[in-house]
Amino acid sequence: MNEEHELHRGLSARQIRMIALGGTIGVGLFMGATSTIKWTGPSVIFAYLIAGIFLFLVMRAMGEMVYLYPTTGSFANFASDYIHPVAGYLTAWSNIFQWVVVGMSEVIAVGQYMNYWFPDLPQWIPGVIVVALLLCANLVSVKAFGEFEFWFAMIKVVTIILMIIAGFGIIFFGLGNGGEAIGLSNLWANGGFFPNGWLGFFFALSIVIGSYQGVELIGITAGETKDPQKNIKSAVNGVIWRILIFYVGAIFVIVTVYPWDELGNLGSPFVATFAKVGITIAAGLINFVVLTAAMSGCNSGIFSASRMAYTLAQRGQMPKIFLKVMKNGVPVYTVTAIAIGILIGALLNVILPMFIEGADSIFVYVYSASILPGMVPWFMILISHLRFRKGNPALLEGHPFKMPGGALSNYITMAFLIIVLIGMLFNKETVVSVVIGIIFLAFMTTFYFVKGYHKQQD
């Protein structure tokens, strides 16, 4: 092992497509759909659709740049090159913070899901096993990480497709409902399509937007992807169809099959839908799916955060030891450090409440605080893209993967994200997370200048 080894391009086309898919579909869809539906009723379909379209435009802005410069930690590098080095620093740290916190929450969730089958099993034990397993997978090779993520994503995809098929069977053919088709009346029969008005719809957007965090993971894989131009282009273009099918399709089924105002009493709508068509093992099946979804989130967290730490080390903003790469192309110390960080956070969540009253709520705030840092890469991608287009007109001539609508789409997308962010400040369920996120960004900015990183020659 030495510093001379570079990261390897070991991710195949099928793995990149599934990583893109896995990054888009999280536990939130399986477990958190009812929390967004309560805000806005059936019109939540539009909330997922609108947010999805704008996130697709963010991905196309990134894709236009990555197509020409497929590097590891791509959008952090773009932020440094086209905005300011501090922008790249904040982007990288925001991504690390977001994924470590997500990884912590997923490890905690694994322990809770395992209690379904083993109620007496201490929750920390499955967490330790999962982190050790995923650490080994990430250390073996980037190909091993890709293979784990491929199958994790496949399980989620198959489950959602089956749920949509079952839902359509209930809606149009009365499957599981005595042969009597439910029809579409639940979309407007219980207070209308917008039962909580436009304000409810607006607040729902701020929660829905969090469901899409992680979609930019494709940009981090760019430096380790075989034939990056072809595969990144394919993965980015496929995002919109994944959003339409797996988010909008699943939510459409849920709010059509069940009255939206009764969903809070059903538990998981996925379990309820499968049970309705006679699949008696529905609860166990969905528990297995969300277990693999949680492992997928932790797996992505280790990969993404470790590559951003590697990118910071390349810029001299992390210890040089994080540049060490094994012969298989894996940055061993960054992967190990991130995995240990995730594990320590998850264990503290179990240990601290034993000694400090109310300590469990600290982690709720920490997790919610990842929402704003999770949006930082999107803003940086869009701003970098504008600067990129302005400074490289020659590169855009004949560019085969331009962003639809160019700069106009970029400005409209930024305006949308700013409006959502403002909405989060007026929503009592999200305002704390935004404030904590702002404190985090302010601290990291101060740290950047105190450490003298602004004096480095980039």
pLDDT (0 to 100) of residue 449? 93
Of residues 8 and 343, the one with the higher pLDDT is 343
DSSP bridge partners of 2: 325
**Buried b or exposed e, range 53-80, using 16+ CB within 10 angstroms:** ebbbbbbbbbbbbbbeebbbbbbbbbbb
pLDDT tier for residue 363 given thresholds of 50, 70 and 90: low
Looking at residues 133-137, what average pLDDT do you find?
91
Mean pLDDT calculated for residue range 203-209: 81
What spatial distance separates the first Cα and last Cα of the chain, rounded to whole Å?
27
pLDDT, residue 26, reads 65
Give the residue, 223 or 252, on which the prediction is more confident. 252
Question: Residue 290's pLDDT is what?
Answer: 82
User: For the residues 394-400, what does the mean pLDDT come to?
Assistant: 84
Q: Tell me, what's the pLDDT at 340?
A: 93
Domain ranges in the chain? 13-453
pLDDT for position 21: 67
Query: Using one digit for the tens of pLDDT, what is the confidence trace for 176-196?
Result: 778 888 899 989 988 888 988
Distance (Å, whole) CA 85 – CA 261: 48
Distances (CA, A) of 324 to 157, 310, 327, 412: 36, 9, 10, 41
Domain 13-453: assigned CATH number? 1.20.1740.10
The predicted structure's pLDDT at residue 9: 66
CB atoms near residue 256 (< 10 Å): 22
pLDDT computed for residue 174 by the predictor? 87
User: What is the reported pLDDT for 442?
Assistant: 94
pTM comes to 0.87
Q: Using DSSP, state whether 449 is helix, strand or coil.
A: helix
Residue 54: per-residue pLDDT: 92
Mean pLDDT of 89-101: 90
Q: Which residues contact 178 (CB under 8 A, 6 or more apart)?
A: none
